[in-house]
Amino acid sequence: MRSDLMKKGLERAPHRSLFKAMGYTDEEISRPLIGVANSANQIVPGHVHLDMIVDDVKAGIRMAGGTPIEFSTIGVCDGIAMGHAGMKYSLVSRELIADSVEIMATAHPFDGLVLVPNCDKIVPGMLMAALRLNIPSIFISGGPMMAGSTAGKTVDLISVFEGVGKVKSGSMTEEELKLLEDCACPGCGSCSGMFTANSMNCVTEALGLGLPGNGAVPAVHAARRRLAKSAGMKIMNLVMKGILPRDIATLDAFKNAIAVDMALGCSTNTVLHIPAIAHEAGIDVDLALFNEISEKTPNICHLSPAGPHHLEDLDMAGGIQGVMMEISKLGVIHPESMTVTGKTVGENLKGVKIENRKVIRSVEDPYSSIGGIAILKGNLAPDGAVVKQSAVAPDMLINEGPARVFESEEESIEAILGGQIHPGDIVVIRYEGPKGGPGMREMLSPTSAIAGMGLDNSVALITDGRFSGGTRGAAIGHISPEAAEGGPIGLVKEGDIILIDIPEKKITLKVGNEEIDGRKRNFNPRPPAITSGCLARYARLVTSASTGAIFKG
């Protein structure tokens, strides 16, 4: 066993003594030692209940003959960090989480790992660590939050974000917003729509590293606790059989995950995280692969913010396994891929049924014949940009208008809520990329303000930053190269005409080549504003969003 490195033989008597100082018996020490990475804290709604989930995981490990050893990781609540300097630290935390799990599982060589994340950067951070370490691993998320309800209407966190703009525009009172604030998030779990946290938990299941149900079973359902116990038992099977994360997360498995991503209409952040996770497995997932799979995979689910459904509806309709079963009819799922069940994807899908065709449509009757995400390129984004096309109004799929240029998120919000943005405008927010931010903030506040002001069907937004999975509308992010790296978004001037053509996968700055070349010669990118601490180090090390914003070297 791998843990023998710290517990077996005469020379390890001091090590065993330290285990006994914590109350471990000889019998416990002799068993396989399973690290349990618990990201519980009291600032993230998706994590506030994870101690209970971890207790169930540990019970499962003990039932199957192992000894669980719990350790912790950090976690940022993107919703609470949104709209201020705190959001600069969200993406950075992904790398710190991956590093911390690597450190804990190498300094203390566990025989296997159960990783218990739930929200935005914790899931990809732990996935990166699992593939980097490549020891038997299984994921069990804390599960999605239930949707809220007020005045007979289903609501969620995005309803509150958009409510701010509605109050500013006069279409909602402050009293109505307060009622919404009190009802939108009814309890623990990752926010209830197909936002980044739930997108990544669904991707984990589709990738084969989480058990069936990992992505959609609600946090408050007893089925989530049973799933946690099953995960604890299954890790012992993976350890005994020597099934490793890289045996599961092959290129075909990543293609499965991207296909599910497209069918669900997941967060655009998956385009940032999937390449970074694959990189840890030594697999190159190019942005072109997303468009290639999107062309073959219909969008068959419209979950919030794209539509009225939430994760609880998806769970009752058949969950991720139901989605995989449905799109497998088109040959976009690789059934031979191994999963943490010890069975292949094809074996897992036997007997799976879809219970609600309003939530999971058939491939013959999709919302769209192509997937939920598109990668755009053009002279404004030579290395690519990303849009959640399933959440874009039909009239905005092709859009041309004057640029309204802002050097930060805060400047744009002030202009939007101040009534300075008009129908037909294209809001440009730059110096918010991985290096320029630094930290690549999510622009949920500006997009929610646009929607709340009633402009989501007439105003587009482009940025070298990124978007929350809760963003809807013509919001194009990850513009690469970013402004701080000398990218063309840094050359845009107020009033320049920009053409967005999502069906053709193009984004174009309609300025002559001579003029662009002249601007380039006189362009000196603004250096990152933060020059100390982890953000300064991040700005020096981080690569482009087009390569997953991983670290250099």
Q: Quick one: which of 27, 39, 209 has its CA closest to 135?
A: 209
List strand residue ranges (DSSP E) for 224-373, in order: none
* Alpha helices in 222-266, H assignment, sequence order: 222-241, 245-248, 251-264
Residues 6+ apart with CB under 8 A from 194: 202, 264, 265, 266, 267, 301, 303, 304, 305, 306, 311, 469
Distance CA 413, CA 404 (A): 12
Q: Quick one: which of 373, 384, 375 has its CA closest to 488?
A: 384
The strand order across the sheet containing 137-139 reads 67-72, 33-38, 112-116, 137-139
Q: What pairs with residue 309 in β-bridges?
A: 303
Instruction: Return the CA Rg of the chain.
Output: 23
Distance CA 377, CA 414 (A): 29
How far apart, in Å, are the Cα atoms of 494 and each of 78, 314, 343, 409, 489? 30, 43, 56, 16, 12
Distance CA 424, CA 340 (A): 49
93, 230, 468, 546: the catalytic one is 468
What is the Cβ-side half-sphere exposure of residue 44, based on CA atoms within 13 angstroms? 28
Residues 6+ apart with CB under 8 A from 18: none
Lookup: tokens for 43: 């600032």
Is 468 designated active site?
yes
349: left (phi over 0), alpha (psi -120 to 50) or beta: alpha
* Helix H or strand E segment including 131: helix 122-133
Local structure of 90: helix, strand or coil? helix
How far apart, in Å, are the Cα atoms of 121 and each of 91, 104, 142, 467? 6, 18, 14, 13
Lookup: tokens for 409: 């998120």
Q: Quick one: which of 284, 278, 231 has its CA closest to 50?
A: 231
- The alpha carbon of residue 10 and the mean position of all alpha carbons in its chain are separated, in whole angstroms, by 46
Distance CA 54, CA 71 (A): 10
Residues 6+ apart with CB under 8 A from 25: none
Lookup: tokens for 384: 């690519």
Q: Which residues are catalytic?
A: 468
